[in-house]
Homo-oligomer: A and B are copies of this chain.
Amino acid sequence: MGNQYVIGLDYGSDSARAVVVDAHTGEVLSTSVKAYPRWAAGLYCNPQANSWRQHPLDYLEVLECTVREALAACDPSVAGQVAGIGIDATGTTSVFTDRAGTPLSLKKEFADNPDAMFVLWKDHTAVREAELINAVCKTSETDYTMYSGGIYSSEWLWAKTLHILHESPDVAAAAYSVVEHCDWIPAVLTGVQDADKIVRSRCAAGHKALWNARWGGLPPESFFRQLDPELVRFRYDTPTVTADTPVGYLCSEWAWRLGLKEDVVVAAGAFDCHIGAVGANIQPGTLVRVIGTSACDVLVAPYEEVGARTIRGILGQVDGSVVPGMVGLEAGQASFGDVYAMFRRILEWPLRNLSGLSDEDMEKACERILPALTAEAEKISPEESTLLATDWINGRRTPDTNQKVTGTITGLTLSASAPLIFRALVEATAFGSRAIVERFREEGVHIERIVGIGGIAQKSPFVMQTMSDVLGMPIDVCRTNQACALGAAMFAATAAGLYPCVEAAARAMDSGILCSYDPNPAHYEDYDRKYRDYLALCRFAEQLDETRNK
């Protein structure tokens, strides 16, 4: 009968989780979630400077803990029948390594140096370096950002790498290579001892490192030299792989640490949202939205549909970054749940400062703000909802990235109220969603169905119904609340040879639909008119932010 279980490992921003899954049915046998201990204690970060670092020991410790705990919750026979492990992580979350591929912060001399640790995706210390990369791209014969939305972000690999080269000469001098989190874990598990042999994820390289087949991989040495002659030695020539690629077998050390056999196949890593989209059984024409504090949108399109042309204003398009053989397209909203969280924080102010409640009662009241606002906002009809807002409180990710725009609320009158404002903010996040869908359609990428995953998709029917009404499209919500880990398990099953391709694995292991939202046609019409107003607000607000930034 052979090995029939797989393990999916999902590294999020604050914690990691492991799931043990039946590779035939997709049934999740057990799940284990652990927070990163040093990160949870607030170590190595500087919030004022937007500097967010994670220690590699955090990743290794939770790896061992979660896999062991998840296996312990299963029948004892399961551990011996694990066929493969798949991995996803946030990105760019990168680290400098020595020649052996060991992160420098795992070496005694750099153990406490944040620049020798992983630089988390949301670290924004490399703003100036990103500007330099953009300037060089715009004056190059080839604009190497053309498949990355036309703007290189401070969150991406070469900006972060340049920043530490500039800031930490000692770390730079000791560094041999720079590696993404999602590439390092497979290397650890397979016992790689040579940085040059670390397998590079197509997803990470394509979306964050300017890798593209059109120019034969990474941009040429001359491009790196223009940025900084020191950067040239971090350019790699190795091929990149899709996440269904087996990178090797579990090494004896990690087989022992995880309680597994050494015949377990380790799949190549990729980024969390892309793997999560596969966990949600993505198909061409299906937009998978990971909806949490922000929204991450993933689409796949046959190469024949998109080809080598660039889709205007999205975040990135990379052949094989989601499903091998198809172009993966990425978009998103920089803030989604964060928009509601901002308003909640504003409304918490009187409770925290003036109510005189005990800490416990105060926290309870604060917890009730969004549910109570939702109940009131639901009673307001779209016609009565006269306020209008944008969702740009953390800049705009797509369409047309602009990190300098800010959020706006307009239509305020004497009768403005907390529920009216909340409703306008919910509509704003839905209008932002529509702007993304419309852009894809304008660019000839068809979307016929939306699938939601993530906390808000599962927990806020009001938000999801509003989004369905605004889009005029049905939305399905995935049953699994661990779509990323499940997706990693699907890639593990494919890499281990249990399926001929990841689409087959996704079909067989699909968790199904938790619930669906159908658009209310009358509301769609109201919102359709209001969406025109939203677009006008967006134009004005962006012009105003440009004026203010001058």
Contacts of A410 in B (CB 8 A): 406-409, 541, 544-545
Contact segment of A191-199, A349-357, A477-485: A349-357
Nearest-CB residue, chain B, relative to A388: B548
Are B540 and A417 touching (Cβ within 8 A)? Answer: no
Decide if A414 touches B541 in the complex (CB within 8 Å). no
**Chain A stretch 116-130: residues in CB contact (< 8 A) with chain B:** none
| B residues less than 8 Å from A544 (CB atoms) | 410, 533, 536-537, 540
- The docked-state distance in angstroms from the alpha carbon of A411 to that of B544 is 10
Q: Are the C-beta atoms of A394 and B413 separated by less than 8 Å?
A: yes
State the 8 A-B residue pairs at the shortest beta-carbon distance, nearest first: A407-B412, A349-B418, A540-B540, A408-B410, A354-B365, A406-B411, A536-B547, A347-B350
Which A residues form the contact surface with B (CB < 8 A)? 335, 338, 342, 345-351, 353-357, 361, 365-366, 368-369, 372, 388, 392-394, 406-414, 416-419, 421, 533, 536-537, 540-541, 543-545, 547-548
A346-B416 contact in complex given A351-B354, A410-B406, C-beta closer than 8 Å: yes
Q: Across the interface, name the chain B residue whose C-beta is closest to A375.
A: B353
- Contacts A346-B416, A409-B409 hold; do A355 and B355 have CB atoms under 8 A apart? yes
State whether A414 touches B533 (Cβ < 8 A): no
Smallest distance from the beta carbon of A333 to chain B beta carbons, Å?
13
Residues B335 and A350 in contact, CB atoms below 8 Å apart:
no
The answer to whether B409 touches A412 (Cβ under 8 A) is: yes
Q: Does A416 lie within 8 Å of B412, measured CB to CB? A: no
Partner of A335, one of B368, B414, B419: B414
Question: In angstroms, how far is the closest chain B Cβ from the Cβ of A412?
Answer: 3
* Additional pairs, 13, CB under 8 Å, beyond known A351-B354, A408-B411: A346-B417, A349-B418, A350-B351, A350-B365, A350-B369, A355-B365, A393-B416, A394-B414, A406-B411, A407-B416, A409-B409, A410-B544, A540-B540
A528 → chain B closest CB, angstroms = 14
Known: A347-B347, A347-B349, A350-B365. A412 touches B342 (CB 8 A): yes
A348 to B408, CA, bound (A): 22
- Give Cα distance in the complex from A335 to B416, angstroms: 13
Q: Is the CB of B418 within 8 A of A407?
A: no
How distant is the Cα of A335 from the Cα of B415 in the complex, in angstroms?
12
Q: How far is the CB of A79 from chain B (nearest CB, A)?
A: 43
16 pairs from A and B in contact (CB 8 Å cutoff): A335-B414, A345-B416, A346-B416, A350-B350, A350-B351, A354-B368, A356-B357, A392-B412, A406-B412, A407-B412, A408-B409, A410-B545, A411-B548, A533-B548, A536-B543, A536-B547
Question: Is A408 in contact with B417, judged by CB distance below 8 angstroms?
Answer: no
- The interface residues of chain B lying within 8 Å CB-to-CB of A393 are 412-414, 416
Q: Are B537 and A342 within 8 A (Cβ)?
A: no
In the bound complex, residues from chain B placing their C-beta under 8 Å from that of A342 are 412, 414, 416
Expressed in whole angstroms, the minimum distance between the Cβ of A474 and any Cβ of chain B is 29
Contacts of A346 on B, CB cut-off 8 Å? 347, 416-418, 421
Most chain B beta carbons < 10 A, residue from A335, A372, A388, A410: A410
* Best-buried of A345, A417, A418, A543 by chain B (most CB within 10 Å): A418
CB atoms of A408 and B408 under 8 A apart: yes
State in angstroms the CA–CA spacing of A416 and B356 once bound together.
23
Query: How distant is A440 from chain B, measured CB to nearest CB, in Å?
Result: 26
When the two chains form their complex, are residues A372 and B347 in contact, meaning their CB atoms are under 8 A apart? no
Q: Which residues of B contact A372 (CB under 8 A)?
A: 353-354
Chain B residue contacts of A349, Cβ below 8 A: 347, 417-419
Inter-chain CA distance A372–B353, complex, in Å, is 8
* A152 nearest CB across to chain B (Å): 22
Whether the pair B365, A356 counts as a contact (CB closer than 8 A) is yes
